[in-house]
């Protein structure tokens, strides 16, 4: 209980302890998890899904000072979505998040469903494209267009991809 209270009261800085490589590049993370969970044969020779996190106490400046071997300038800092219980003076949060959830597409006269990719972009009231207004994740530079994962011949694709819109 003490750790849960501590986590709620402090800003969390989490640093991955091992590097990862891409698996399931063209499918959502939930689908990869389900495949790993449902696998009947497990190869115990290092294959699998591995995630390691370490809780580092303190604010960002303190963590960078005390744990410089884990947190450096290249570490992406992601702020929690939503509003904290206590809003400090000068803490401006005008974040807009857009989540692409799912779609249903008719195959028409084709025998198989269509390939689907969704492109998101931000435009002003005059229809002008806003450059670098979409941020696909913490540590990423803004992009003018965000392209979703491509689903190959799926009638009802589910993306659950969230991007941050910042002007």
Query: Per residue of the chain (167 residues), what is the pLDDT tens digit?
Result: 455 555 444 444 444 433 344 455 556 666 666 676 666 665 556 555 666 677 888 888 888 888 888 887 777 777 777 777 777 787 777 778 899 998 888 877 888 877 888 999 999 999 999 999 998 887 788 899 999 888 788 888 888 888 989 86
Per the structure block, which two tokens stand in for 161? 């991809």
Domain presence at residue 155 = yes
Domain presence at residue 146 = yes
Q: What one-character-per-residue DSSP string does 89-109 give?
A: TT-----EEEEEEE-----TT
Domain presence at residue 109 = yes
- Tens of pLDDT, residue by residue over 74-93, are 777 777 777 777 777 877 77
User: What is the domain-level CATH number for residue 100?
Assistant: 2.60.40.150
Domain presence at residue 64 = no
Domain that holds residue 98: 94-166
Total count of domains within the chain: 1
Domain presence at residue 106 = yes
CA angle 164, 79, 16 (to 5 degrees): 105
Cα separation, 16 vs 20, in Å, equals: 9
Residues 121 and 149 sit within 8 Å (Cβ to Cβ)? no
Residues 100 and 120 sit within 8 Å (Cβ to Cβ)? yes
Domain presence at residue 118 = yes
Domain presence at residue 62 = no
Domain presence at residue 110 = yes
Strand partners, 16: 53
């Amino acid at each position: 209980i003490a750790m849960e209270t501590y986590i709620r009261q402090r800003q969390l800085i989490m640093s991955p302890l091992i590097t990862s490589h891409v698996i399931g590049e063209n499918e959502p993370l939930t689908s990869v998890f389900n495949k790993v969970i449902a696998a009947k044969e497990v190869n115990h020779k290092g294959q699998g899904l591995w995630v390691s996190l370490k809780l580092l106490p303190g604010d960002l400046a303190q963590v960078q000072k005390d744990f410089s071997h884990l947190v450096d300038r290249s570490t992406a800092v992601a702020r929690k979505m939503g509003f904290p219980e206590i809003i400090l003076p000068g803490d401006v949060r005008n974040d807009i998040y857009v989540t692409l959830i799912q779609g249903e597409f008719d195959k028409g006269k084709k025998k198989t469903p269509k390939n689907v990719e969704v492109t998101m972009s931000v435009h002003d009231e005059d229809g002008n494209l806003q450059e670098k207004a979409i941020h696909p994740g913490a540590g990423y530079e803004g992009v003018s267009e965000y392209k979703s994962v491509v689903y190959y011949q799926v009638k009802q694709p589910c993306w659950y991809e969230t991007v941050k819109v910042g002007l």
